[in-house]
Amino acid sequence: MNGSSPSLEAIRWPAPAKLNLFLYINGQRPDGYHELQTLFQFIDKADYLTISCNQHGAITLSPDSDIPLADNLIYKAARALQQYGGTQLGADIQLEKNLPMGGGLGGGSSDAATTLVALNQQWQLNYPNQVLAEIGVKLGADVPIFIHGLAAIAEGVGEKLTSVEVDEPWYVIASPQVHVSTASVFTHKELIRNTPKRPLEQLLTTDWHNDCEPLVKKQYPEVAKAIDALIEYAPSRLTGTGACVFATCQSQQQAQSILDNCPAWLNGFVAQGSNQSALYKQLNLRK
Set out the domains of the chain in order of their start, with CATH numbers: 11-164 (3.30.230.10), 170-274 (3.30.70.890)
pLDDT recorded at residue 159: 79
What is each CA distance from 38 to 25, 114, 134, in whole angstroms? 9, 21, 20
pLDDT recorded at residue 66: 80
pLDDT recorded at residue 261: 94
Annotated catalytic residue, options 47, 111, 142, 211 = 142
Q: Is 211 a catalytic residue?
A: no
pLDDT recorded at residue 33: 84
Quote the DSSP letter at residue 136.
H
C-alpha–C-alpha distance, residues 117 and 128, integer Å: 10
Candidates 284, 283, 253; CA nearest to 270 is: 253
Q: Is 71 a catalytic residue?
A: no
C-alpha–C-alpha distance, residues 150 and 35, integer Å: 21
Annotated catalytic residue, options 18, 45, 76, 217 = 18
pLDDT recorded at residue 287: 66
Low-confidence ranges of the chain (pLDDT < 70): 1-5, 287
- Show the beta-strand stretches assigned E in the chain: 11-28, 34-54, 59-62, 90-96, 152-156, 160-163, 170-174, 236-238, 245-249, 268-274
pLDDT recorded at residue 1: 44
